C-alpha cells in the first residue's frame, strides 16, 4: 500500500514541480547577487577553517584524509546555481575508505563547495577511515532521480529535499525515522516551518537544512520622493502603496504594490495574519479553511490591495516581476529572498538599480509584529536503504551543527537554527528574510499537497479575486478542490 501511495505521490509531485515550482530557485535564495560577495568570502573562510582544523589534527591518518580531500576536488569548481543547468561537477571526497563509504547528495548551488569541505573535514576527524563522497545534484529532475536512487541498493546515504518535495518521500517510508534524535539534531531551535515539512504522520524523518522567506521589496528612491517610511503595520503598508501609486500616476501600469493574480503566495500572509488557514487536518481527514471568517477577512484585505494599489496583470504571474521592477513600474512587491539577484542580473535585469532595492518583513496587524511569511527551503534525510545509517547520522549532525550552519548565516542565507538568525549578515534582503522567518508558515503537510498546486487551485482563486470575483464564492470553490485533493 505504501509503495502504491509513494508512486502516486511522486507522480503528482513531478507534475506540480513542472507546473508551479517551489520557492527553491536553486533553492531558497543564495542566487541573490546582493549576497554573492558575502558568499564568496564565506566560502574562502570555510575552506580556511577546514584547512586549519585539519592542520590541528595530529594523526597521520587524518592528514592523509585532508590530502585525499584536496586531491579529489577539481580546482575552482563552481557549482551551478540555476535550476536548469545540467552541468555535473566532479565529486568532492575525503577519508581513506578502509572503513567504508557514505555518499552525500546536495542540490543546486546553494551549498558552496567550501561548506562541504568543512563538513567532510569535521566528519573525518571522528571517522578518518570512512570515505565521504559528495555528489552535487541539480534541482531539475531531482524527484525522478531520487525515486530511482532511493529504491536501489546503491542509494545515497544523506540527501537534500526541497520542502515541497519531502512529504511524498516521507509518506512512502523512504527515509530513516529520526524522531528519537530530533532533540539531538536541534530540537526547539530548529525552524518550525521546516520541521513541519520534515514530519509526516507524527514521525520526524527530515531535519531543516536552510531556508528563504518571502519579504517585501521596495524602491528606496520612490519611497524617499513620496516621503514614505517603511510601514510598521498592514494598514500603513496599504496607505504607502496608495501614496506610491498616486505619486507615480504618470507611469503606465504602475503598482504601489505589484500583485499579479496568479501569485497566490502573496495572498497567504493576509490569510494567516488574520487567523485563517488553507486547510486543517483532523485524524485522516482534511477540511478546507479558506471559507472561514478569518480567511475571508484576509482574502478581502488582499483584494483591496489588488484593486487599490496594483497595476499588474490580473491573470499574470510573478515570473517577470523583475522586469516590471526594472521598468520603474513597481513601488513594492512581495518576493522570495533571491529576487534582488534576479532584478540586478546583467542579462535582462538592471544592475544599476541595486542601490535602490530595499527590503522589509511584511508587517502584521499591529506595530512591532510581522505577518506570517511563507518559508521555502530544504530538509535533509537519511535513505532507508543506507548501508551505513549510523555513519550517515554522524554526518547529518555536522550538517545541522552550529559550526556548519553559521556558514549559511554568514552568507546571508537563513540557517536551520533559530539561535543563529540574529547573526545573519549580508544584504538588506538577507536581514529582512531573517526577520520574516521568525514568524513563518508552510503549506499543509500532506503528501497530496503537490496535486493541489498542480491543479492551480489557489492561483485560479486569486486570479478570480483579483479580477473582482466574490471572495466567499471563490474561497468555497477552492476549499472543495483542496478537500478532494488532500483526501483523495
Do residues 78 and 198 both lie within one domain? yes
Task: Decide if 376 contacts 443 (C-beta within 8 A).
Answer: no
Domain presence at residue 362? no
Q: Is 101 helix (H, G, I), strand (E, B) or coil?
A: strand
Greatest alpha-carbon pair distance for the chain in Å reads 72
Give the phi and the psi of residue 328 in degrees, each rounded to 5.
75, 20
* Residues 246, 309: Cα–Cα separation, whole Å: 9
Do residues 192 and 232 both lie within one domain? no
Give the phi and the psi of residue 271 in degrees, each rounded to 5.
-65, -50
Domain presence at residue 357? no
Do residues 57 and 128 both lie within one domain? yes
Q: What is the pLDDT of residue 69?
A: 37
* Residues 178, 205: Cα–Cα separation, whole Å: 5
Do residues 94 and 241 both lie within one domain? no
Nearest alpha carbon to residue 401 among 214, 126, 37, 164: 126
pLDDT in tens, the chain (488 residues): 444 445 454 454 444 444 434 455 443 333 333 333 233 323 333 333 333 333 333 333 333 333 343 333 332 222 333 334 455 677 889 899 999 999 999 998 889 999 999 999 999 999 999 999 999 999 888 988 999 999 998 999 999 999 888 988 999 999 999 999 999 999 999 998 899 899 998 999 999 999 989 999 999 999 999 999 999 999 999 999 999 999 999 999 999 999 999 999 999 999 999 999 999 999 989 999 999 999 999 999 999 999 999 999 999 999 899 999 999 999 999 998 889 989 999 999 999 999 999 999 999 999 999 999 998 899 999 999 999 999 999 999 999 999 999 999 988 889 999 999 989 877 888 889 989 988 988 899 888 888 898 899 999 999 999 999 999 999 999 999 999 999 98
Task: Decide if 261 contacts 463 (C-beta within 8 A).
Answer: yes
Domain span at 460? 215-335+455-486
Total structural domains within the chain: 2
Do residues 292 and 247 both lie within one domain? yes
Do residues 312 and 223 both lie within one domain? yes
Q: What is the pLDDT of residue 72?
A: 36
* Residues 416, 368: Cα–Cα separation, whole Å: 24
Amino acid at each position: 500500500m505504501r509503495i502504491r501511495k509513494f508512486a502516486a505521490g511522486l507522480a503528482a509531485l513531478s507534475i506540480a514541480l513542472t507546473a508551479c515550482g517551489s520557492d527553491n530557485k536553486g533553492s531558497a535564495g543564495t542566487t541573490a547577487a546582493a549576497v554573492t560577495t558575502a558568499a564568496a568570502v564565506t566560502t574562502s573562510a570555510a575552506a580556511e577553517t577546514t584547512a586549519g582544523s585539519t592542520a590541528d589534527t595530529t594523526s597521520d591518518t587524518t592528514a592523509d584524509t585532508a590530502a585525499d580531500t584536496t586531491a579529489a576536488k577539481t580546482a575552482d569548481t563552481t557549482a551551478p546555481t540555476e535550476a536548469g543547468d545540467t552541468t555535473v561537477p566532479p565529486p568532492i571526497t575525503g577519508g581513506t575508505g578502509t572503513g567504508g563509504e557514505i555518499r552525500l547528495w546536495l542540490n543546486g548551488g546553494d551549498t558552496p563547495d567550501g561548506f562541504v569541505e568543512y563538513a567532510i573535514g569535521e566528519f573525518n576527524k571522528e571517522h578518518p577511515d570512512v570515505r565521504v563522497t559528495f555528489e552535487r545534484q541539480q534541482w531539475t529532475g531531482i524527484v525522478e532521480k531520487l525515486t530511482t536512487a532511493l529504491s536501489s541498493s546503491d542509494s545515497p546515504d544523506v540527501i537534500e529535499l526541497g520542502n515541497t518535495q519531502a512529504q511524498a518521500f516521507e509518506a512512502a517510508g523512504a527515509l530513516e525515522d529520526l524522531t528519537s534524535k530530533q532533540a539531538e539534531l536541534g530540537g526547539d531551535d530548529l525552524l518550525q516551518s521546516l520541521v513541519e515539512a520534515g514530519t509526516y504522520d507524527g514521525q520526524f524523518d527530515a531535519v531543516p537544512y536552510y531556508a528563504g522567506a518571502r519579504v517585501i521589496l521596495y524602491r528606496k528612491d520612490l519611497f524617499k520622493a513620496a516621503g514614505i517610511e517603511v510601514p510598521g503595520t498592514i494598514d500603513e503598508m496599504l496607505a504607502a502603496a496608495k501614496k506610491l501609486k498616486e505619486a507615480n500616476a504618470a507611469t503606465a501600469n504602475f503598482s504601489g504594490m505589484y500583485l499579479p493574480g496568479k501569485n497566490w503566495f502573496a495572498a497567504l500572509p493576509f490569510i494567516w495574519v488574520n487567523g485563517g488557514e488553507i486547510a486543517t487536518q483532523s485524524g485522516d481527514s482534511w477540511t478546507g479553511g479558506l471559507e472561514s471568517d478569518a480567511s475571508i477577512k484576509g482574502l478581502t484585505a488582499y483584494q483591496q490591495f489588488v484593486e487599490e494599489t496594483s497595476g499588474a496583470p490580473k491573470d499574470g504571474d510573478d515570473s517577470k516581476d523583475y522586469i516590471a521592477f526594472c521598468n520603474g513600474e513597481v513601488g513594492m512587491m512581495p518576493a522570495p529572498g533571491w529576487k534582488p539577484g534576479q532584478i540586478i542580473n546583467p542579462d535582462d535585469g538592471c544592475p544599476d538599480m541595486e542601490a535602490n532595492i530595499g527590503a522589509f518583513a511584511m508587517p502584521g496587524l499591529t506595530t512591532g509584529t510581522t505577518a506570517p511569511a511563507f518559508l521555502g527551503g530544504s530538509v535533509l534525510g537519511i535513505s532507508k536503504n543506507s548501508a551505513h545509517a549510523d555513519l550517515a547520522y554522524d554526518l547529518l549532525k555536522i550538517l545541522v551543527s552550529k559550526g556548519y550552519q553559521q556558514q549559511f548565516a554568514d552568507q546571508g542565507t537563513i540557517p536551520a537554527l533559530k539561535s543563529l538568525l540574529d547573526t545573519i549578515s549580508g544584504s538588506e534582503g538577507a536581514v529582512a528574510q531573517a526577520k520574516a522567518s521568525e514568524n513563518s508558515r508552510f503549506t499543509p503537510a500532506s503528501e497530496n499537497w503537490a496535486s493541489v498546486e498542480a491543479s492551480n487551485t489557489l492561483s485560479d482563486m486569486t486570479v478570480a479575486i483579483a479580477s473582482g470575483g466574490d471572495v466567499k464564492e471563490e474561497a468555497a470553490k477552492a476549499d472543495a478542490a483542496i478537500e478532494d485533493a488532500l483526501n483523495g
